[in-house]
């Protein structure tokens, strides 16, 4: 039964990722700004892969909720919560409003791309840093 639950979530996350690829069309070249457009789309897909990996790990392999004696661990978990909230909203809003940006669209694409990459690196750091309980 546990395997089936993992399979359902992996399939759902892969479906989300495939739908994002279909909607973004990352390899469609824009005539006026080809590099910045590909950069923002690729950085969003990298962010989304990191976000889905982190969501999967938190759902199935996060440590049990035990009272933490150390204040440092509590601060890290609070920082993770705040970071996760920002990591969910900033890249998604950035990719959704990109078409409404007019004259400074190239700069906007690069700024949002850098934010996407920084958030993805932050999520990878949390993934590497947190104690996961892999059940075998």
Contact 81, 56 (CB under 8 A): no
What does the pLDDT look like over 46-98, one tens digit per residue? 999 999 999 999 888 887 545 455 556 667 678 778 888 999 999 999 999 98
* DSSP H helices in 2-129: 2-24, 34-61, 71-96, 105-129
Quote the pLDDT of residue 67.
45
- Predicted model pTM: 0.86
Pair of tokens at residue 108: 């906007």
Radius of gyration of the chain (CA): 17
Helix (H, G, I), strand (E, B) or coil at 115: helix
Pair of tokens at residue 29: 């070249």
Share of the chain above pLDDT 70, in %: 88
């Amino acid at each position: 039964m546990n395997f089936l639950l993992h399979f359902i979530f992996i399939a759902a996350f892969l479906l989300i990722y495939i739908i994002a690829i279909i909607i973004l069309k990352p390899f469609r070249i824009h005539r006026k700004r080809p590099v910045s457009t590909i950069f923002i789309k690729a950085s969003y897909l990298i962010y989304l892969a990191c976000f889905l990996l982190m969501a999967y790990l938190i759902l199935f392999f996060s440590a049990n909720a035990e009272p933490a004696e150390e204040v440092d661990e509590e601060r890290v978990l609070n920082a993770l919560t705040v970071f996760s909230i920002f990591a969910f909203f900033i890249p998604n809003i950035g990719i959704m409003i990109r078409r409404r940006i007019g004259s400074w669209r190239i700069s906007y694409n690069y700024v949002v791309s850098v934010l996407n990459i920084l958030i993805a690196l932050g999520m990878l750091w949390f993934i590497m840093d947190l104690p996961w309980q892999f059940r075998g």
